[in-house]
């Protein structure tokens, strides 16, 4: 391969905004450049799978872009100073590596090692499999982009989570449910897209951060999408699967549980009916004939009006096991979502609690699901709010595979108009101690399978990409996509480490840019919380659209509000003694903390307790004064974000700068609206003046 390769030419026509963190900027002419040119001048990829072809293409593009070389070509194995292969194809002992070293990493792990033989320096990137080689290559390229030394490398690395999944909520008409970055890159006008180059670039982005699975359609499967598992679409979907296969990703499809009826073949979808069982087995065989490595099905059933086993007086285990049996012989997986609740329940009934639904539905079924079923559980018991406690299902299911579900798309968190870096939030979830098997039973130990020895487990998330030029609407929202992949690969990475990586890869190594953007990212979650819904109450947002304040807003409006504010106070009583009893779903240590008004952390106070406006927080502020103060503070903090960003003009590509500045202007308008509506509402409810004398009405 040389620089005349069409792939390289295409790469240089792409904008920095489009290339995201795979910009591969020119390395500055310093001592590090000479070090890189010595090692990277001659590379050899020893392997002939589709994944090794992808590695060759990525190296060709990256090394040419970064190295100042007029020509980049793969050399012979004998002449190579950068060797990429797997542990079966290279005599590791020739390079001072004991083959037994690879017994400590899993199938997707890799070794990066510098080797000096007296005549020349060599870097080895050795995967346990070709997937490991791919991930090792991207890790090595991150080192180059970060200007790190590669003279004495010895990196042994593998992912902590087996399942690392992306959920697209794309519809076949090209729309995206909860999408804020343009239209779908997979579908348009009830057809599969013809722009497979963009699909390939997305596969590159996902592989570069270690994502290994993707479902490409919305969990709400409508009429046309039900046909994705038929001959009408399956061959074109197989083409997309082939693109992802070359980058180590398995393709899944969201399916309609009522497909046997909707496709006109049967009169029932009863999971215990023999004809239904045979129908799904035949359907699975048809799919695997076209997509041999098909990952399996993602299912949303019996929630928000979607069909499921409840229609036949069956339970979730019956429904999931029906599909699991159909996929089992092919190695397929059923991902069964636990976002299940009665959306028509009367929220005005103080004993009714949507937060309890997932636990109540699935805890009694623990141990009744087949081994190739995974229950997908949202990080919190409600719906991706700015602050909510960890779902009590984590730790409660001891005999059932689980994946944790995050949302990268900022549905309730500013919709990629407002800046909100989500990795700090996700870190809190992963580090949360459930006490399921005593102290140290963290969520990350549950979802990586180590606490209960799950066969298959991991983390999934709702994607935030669309066909906008920069993929994520707001350029800074790319940090959430990048951060998700890096965090689920290694949950022990800090939010700060991940943010620094992304800033460097995206904007280069200018110290001032790194300092300012890092500060903006790390402060942004707290800022968004300040001007929206602090103290854990959540919601107060426009129903259905989910952007902008609507203090009494509720999705199903006739059932009241989420916050139960009256003239005396606000918050939801979820205690055992006087409330909904939700706190009883936690293990004893957390139950006692959350159930106690005095011990409950302030950030969750209104999620667990209904308190007077004059209740004094641990900070010394009253609840009402905290609301006034935080909303005024949040607006000023957004102004500070704008000042920081404006100071960086001229230090990045103009399109990137103007895109973010435009979004920050929208965020300031949004923050002011939240401040004014929320403060006015609670002043009128409580009749309590702001002690600082600010105008709030």
Given a contact cutoff of 8 angstroms between Cβ atoms, the answer to whether 605 and 563 are in contact is no
Known active-site residue 439: no
111 touches 123 (CB < 8 A): no
Nearest-5° Cα angle at 64, 62 to 68? 125
Residue indicated by tokens 């570069």 = 208
Concatenate the DSSP letters of all residues of 617-640 into one string: PTTS-BHHHHHHHHHHHHHHHHHH
Q: What is the mean pLDDT of residues 522-526?
A: 98
pLDDT of residue 603: 98
3 state SS for 473-534 = CCHHHHHHHHHHHHHHHCCCCCHHHHHHHHHHHHHCCCHHHHHHHHHHHHHHHHHHHHHCCH
Region(s) of the chain under CATH 3.20.20.80: 163-178+192-465+482-496
Give percent of the chain with pLDDT exceeding 70.
96
26-47 per-position pLDDT tens digit: 887 676 888 888 888 789 999 9
Rg value, the chain, Cα: 26
Reported confidence tier of residue 493, pLDDT bands at 50, 70, 90: very high
Distances in Å between the alpha carbon of 225 and those of 37, 305, 320? Answer: 50, 16, 20
| H or E element that contains 111 | strand 110-116
What is the band of 3 on the pLDDT scale with cuts at 50, 70, 90?
A: very low
Question: Which residues, 6+ apart, have CB-to-CB distance to 518 below 8 Å?
Answer: 496, 499, 500, 503
Q: Return the sign of the alpha-carbon dihedral for residues 450, 452, 457, 459.
A: negative
Instruction: Summarize the confidence of residues 547-566 as an average pLDDT.
Output: 78
Which range is least confidently modeled, 54-68, 422-436, 448-462?
54-68
What band does 341 get if pLDDT is binned at 50, 70 and 90? low
551: its two tokens: 């203090």
For 688, which DSSP code? P
* CATH 3.30.379.10 segments of the chain: 1-157
% of residues, the chain, pLDDT over 90: 83
Q: 11 and 23 in contact (C-beta within 8 Å)?
A: no
pLDDT digits (tens, 9 = 90+) for 148-198: 999 899 999 999 999 999 999 999 999 999 999 999 999 999 999 999 999
Rounded CA gap, 46 and 75, in Å? 11
Of the residues 86, 328, 383, 448, which is catalytic?
A: 383
Whether residue 1 has pLDDT greater than 90: no
Rounded to an integer, the average pLDDT of 472-489 is 98
Strand partners, 251: 214
**Hey, CA dihedral for 142, 143, 144, 148, is it positive or negative?**
positive
SS3 state of residue 299: strand
Average pLDDT of every residue of the chain = 94
Q: What is the pLDDT of residue 70?
A: 62
**Residue whose C-alpha is closest to residue 521's, from 553, 496, 547:** 496
Catalytic residue among 38, 188, 273, 304: 304
492-522 per-residue burial string, b: 16 or more CB within 10 A, e: under 16? ebebeebbbbbbbbbbbeeeebbebbbebbb
pLDDT of amino acid 342: 58
Residue among 631, 179, 198 at smallest CA distance from 416: 179
* pLDDT reading at 222 higher than 90: yes
Q: Which residue has the higher pLDDT, 645 or 557?
A: 645
304 is catalytic: yes
pLDDT at 74: 79
Among 149, 144, 333, 361, residue whose Cα is nearest residue 251: 333
The domain 163-178+192-465+482-496 is classified under which CATH number: 1.10.357.10, 3.30.70.360, 1.10.10.10, 3.20.20.80?
3.20.20.80
- Model-wide pTM > 0.85: yes
pLDDT score at 454: 94
- Reduced to 3 DSSP states, what percent helix, strand and coil does the chain have, rounded to the nearest 5? 40, 10, 45
**Position 209 pLDDT exceeds 60:** yes
Architecture in CATH of 1-157: 2-Layer Sandwich (3.30)
Average confidence (pLDDT) over 613-640: 98
Structure-block tokens of residue 584: 């009883």
Q: Is 671 a residue whose pLDDT tops 50?
A: yes
Sequential DSSP letters for 21-79: T---PPPPSSHHHHHHHHHHTSEEE---SHHHHHHHHHHHHHHHHHH--S---B--TTT
Span 523-536, mean pLDDT?
Answer: 98
| Given the residues 42, 388, 411, 468, the one annotated as active site | 411
- CATH: 3.90.1330.10, 2.40.50.140, 1.10.10.1150, 3.30.1550.10. Which one for 508-572+610-696? 3.90.1330.10
Q: Given a cut of 50, is residue 557 above it in pLDDT?
A: no
Q: Say whether pLDDT at 328 is over 80.
A: yes
**665 among known catalytic residues:** no
The pLDDT of residue 15 is above 50: yes
Which of the 8 DSSP states describes residue 545? T
- The Cα–Cα gap between 343 and 352 comes to 11
The pLDDT of residue 4: 47
- What's the pLDDT at 31? 67
pLDDT classification of 350: cutoffs 50, 70, 90: low
- Res 11: pLDDT: 86
Q: Which helix (H) or strand (E) holds 154?
A: strand 154-157
H/E stretch holding 686 reads helix 654-686
Who has greater pLDDT, 656 or 509? 656
User: SS3 string of 306-374?
Assistant: CCCHHHHCCCHHHHHHHHHHHHHCCCCEEEEECCCCCCCCCCCCCCCCHHHHHHHHHHHHCCCCCCCEE
Residue 467 has pLDDT above 70, yes or no: yes
In angstroms, the CA 445 to CA 431 distance is 9
pLDDT value at position 32? 80
């Amino acid at each position: 391969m040389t620089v005349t390769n069409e792939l390289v030419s295409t790469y240089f026509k792409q904008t920095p905004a489009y290339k995201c963190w795979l910009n591969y900027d020119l390395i500055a002419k310093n001592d590090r450049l000479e070090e890189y040119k010595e090692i990277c001048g001659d590379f050899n990829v020893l392997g002939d799978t589709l994944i090794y072809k992808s590695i060759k293409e990525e190296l060709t593009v990256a090394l040419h872009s970064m190295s100042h070389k007029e020509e980049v070509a793969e050399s012979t194995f004998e002449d190579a100073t950068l060797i990429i292969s797997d542990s079966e194809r290279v005599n590791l002992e020739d390079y001072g590596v004991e083959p037994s070293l690879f017994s400590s990493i899993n199938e997707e792990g890799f070794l990066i090692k510098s080797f000096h033989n007296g005549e020349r320096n060599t870097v080895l990137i050795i995967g346990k499999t070709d997937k490991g080689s791919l991930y090792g290559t991207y890790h090595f390229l991150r080192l180059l982009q970060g200007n790190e030394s590669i003279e004495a490398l010895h990196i042994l690395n593998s992912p902590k989570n087996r399942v690392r999944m992306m959920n697209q909520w794309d519809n076949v008409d090209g729309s995206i449910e909860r999408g804020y970055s343009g239209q779908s890159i997979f579908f348009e006008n009830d057809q599969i897209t013809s722009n497979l180059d963009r699909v390939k670039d997305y596969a590159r982005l996902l592989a570069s951060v270690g994502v290994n699975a993707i479902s490409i359609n919305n969990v709400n499967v409508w009429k046309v999408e039900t046909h994705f598992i038929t001959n009408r679409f399956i061959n074109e979907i197989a083409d997309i699967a082939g693109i992802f296969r070359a980058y180590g990703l398995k393709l899944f499809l969201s399916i309609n549980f009522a497909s046997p009826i909707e496709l006109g073949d049967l009169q029932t979808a009863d999971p215990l009916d023999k004809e239904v069982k045979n129908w799904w087995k035949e359907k699975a065989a048809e799919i695997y004939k076209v997509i041999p490595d098909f990952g399996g099905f993602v299912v949303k059933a019996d929630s928000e009006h979607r069909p499921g086993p409840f229609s036949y007086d069956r339970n979730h285990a019956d429904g999931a096991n029906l599909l699991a049996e159909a996929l089992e012989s092919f190695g397929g997986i059923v991902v069964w979502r636990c976002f299940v609740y009665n959306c028509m329940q009367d929220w005005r009934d103080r004993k009714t609690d949507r937060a309890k639904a997932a636990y109540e539905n699935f805890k009694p079924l623990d141990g009744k699901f087949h081994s190739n079923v995974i229950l997908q559980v949202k990080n919190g018991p409600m719906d991706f709010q700015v602050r909510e406690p960890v779902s009590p299902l984590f730790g409660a299911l001891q005999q059932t595979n689980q994946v944790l579900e995050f949302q990268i798309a900022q549905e309730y968190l500013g919709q990629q108009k407002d800046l909100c870096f989500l990795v700090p939030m996700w870190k809190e979830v992963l580090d949360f101690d459930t006490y399921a098997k005593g102290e140290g039973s963290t969520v990350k130990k549950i979802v990586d399978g180590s606490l209960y020895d799950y066969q298959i487990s991991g983390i999934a998330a709702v994607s935030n990409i669309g066909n906008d030029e920069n993929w994520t609407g707001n350029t800074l929202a790319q940090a959430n996509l990048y951060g998700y992949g890096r965090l689920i690969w290694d949950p022990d990475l800090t939010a700060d480490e991940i943010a620094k990586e992304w800033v460097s890869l995206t904007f280069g190594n200018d110290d001032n840019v790194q300092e300012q953007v890092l500060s903006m990212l790390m402060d942004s979650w707290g800022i968004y919380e300040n001007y929206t819904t602090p103290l854990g109450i959540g919601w107060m947002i426009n129903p259905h659209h989910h952007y902008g304040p609507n203090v009494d807003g509720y999705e199903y409006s006739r059932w009241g509000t989420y916050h139960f504010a009256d003239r005396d106070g606000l918050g939801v009583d979820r205690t055992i003694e006087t409330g909904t009893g939700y706190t009883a779903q936690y293990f004893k240590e957390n139950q006692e903390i959350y159930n106690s008004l005095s011990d409950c952390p302030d950030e969750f106070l209104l999620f667990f307790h209904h308190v007077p406006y004059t209740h004094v927080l641990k900070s010394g502020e009253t609840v009402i004064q905290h609301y006034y103060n935080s909303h005024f503070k949040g607006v000023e903090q957004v102004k500070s974000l704008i000042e920081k960003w404006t100071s960086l003009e001229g230090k990045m590509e103009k399109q990137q700068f103007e895109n973010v500045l435009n979004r920050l202007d929208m965020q300031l308008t949004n923050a002011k609206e939240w401040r004014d509506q929320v403060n006015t509402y609670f002043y009128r409810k409580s009749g309590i003046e702001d002690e600082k004398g600010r105008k709030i009405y």
